């Protein structure tokens, strides 16, 4: 068990280092800002370090995956790279790059790590992805309605990360019982 914990720490450290390293090359026009990504990556690393339930960790992984998909698609657009089903292929590729190693290392799929009959990490990734995307979409909708101006500083961060914080509290109360 200790070996898996060390592997998990190394895995998340590598992911966080890759993301933060990419921030130095970030440009001004990003779909999700670097602050959002750091907040999500920090949430993943912190939750694993603290031994937080996998459902909550999955929420943050889901948010992080949405960031990576959107950033990759933006990068493709800036480099004028286009291919068939670009959005679908990019999305599937990112989710496979994260979920497959977790499955191979038996982090996903343990029969005692379930909620509602499904793996806790997978449930968390699903809800985290959906609600992070919805929060970011709400930001863009409100910004558009306000003449392309935000209502308050860091609105994008608040709308993208708040659903993850709220869902973390909800799942904490659900799994605590």
Q: Residue 1's pLDDT band (boundaries 50, 70, 90)?
A: very low
CA distances from 83 to 18, 33, 37, 90 (A): 25, 25, 26, 10
What pLDDT, on a 0 to 100 scale, did the predictor assign at position 27?
A: 42
pLDDT of residue 14: 52
Question: Is residue 174 scored above 60 in pLDDT?
Answer: yes
pLDDT for the residue numbered 35: 57
Whether the predicted pLDDT of 132 surpasses 50: yes
pLDDT of 49 above 70: yes
Range 152-172 average pLDDT: 91
The pLDDT tens digits for 104-116 are 777 788 788 888 8
Distance CA 48, CA 3 (A): 14
In this prediction, residue 124 carries a pLDDT of: 93
> CA-to-CA distance for 156 and 132, rounded, in angstroms?
11
Q: Look at residue 80 in the predicted model and tell me its pLDDT.
A: 94
CA distance 127 to 63: 9
167 three-state secondary structure? helix
Among candidate residues 34, 10, 23, the one with its CA nearest the CA of residue 156: 34
Helix (H) or strand (E) holding 96: helix 86-104
CA distances from 104 to 98, 99, 110, 142 (A): 11, 9, 11, 41
- Helix orientation angle between 2-23 and 54-78, rounded to the nearest 10 degrees: 30
Domain residue extents for the chain: 2-25+33-176
Dihedral, CA of residue 89, residue 90, residue 93 and residue 98, to nearest 10 = -150
Confidence (pLDDT) at 24? 42
Q: pTM value?
A: 0.71
> What is the token pair recorded at 103?
């499955």
């Amino acid at each position: 068990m200790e070996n898996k914990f060390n592997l998990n720490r190394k895995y998340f450290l590598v992911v966080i280092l890759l993301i933060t390293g990419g921030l130095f090359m970030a440009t001004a026009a990003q779909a999700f800002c670097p602050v959002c990504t750091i907040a999500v990556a920090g949430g993943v690393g912190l939750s694993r370090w603290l031994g937080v339930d996998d459902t909550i960790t999955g929420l943050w992984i889901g948010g992080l995956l949405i960031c990576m998909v959107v950033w990759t698609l933006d990068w493709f657009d800036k480099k004028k790279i286009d291919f068939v089903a670009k959005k679908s292929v990019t999305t599937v590729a990112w989710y496979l790059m994260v979920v497959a190693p977790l499955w191979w290392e038996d982090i996903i799929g343990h029969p005692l790590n379930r909620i509602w009959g499904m793996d806790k990490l997978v449930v968390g990734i699903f809800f985290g992805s959906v609600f992070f995307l919805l929060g970011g979409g709400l930001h863009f909708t409100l910004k558009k309605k306000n003449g392309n101006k935000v209502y308050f500083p860091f609105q994008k961060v608040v709308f993208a990360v708040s659903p993850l914080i709220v869902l973390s509290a909800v799942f904490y109360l659900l799994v605590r019982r």
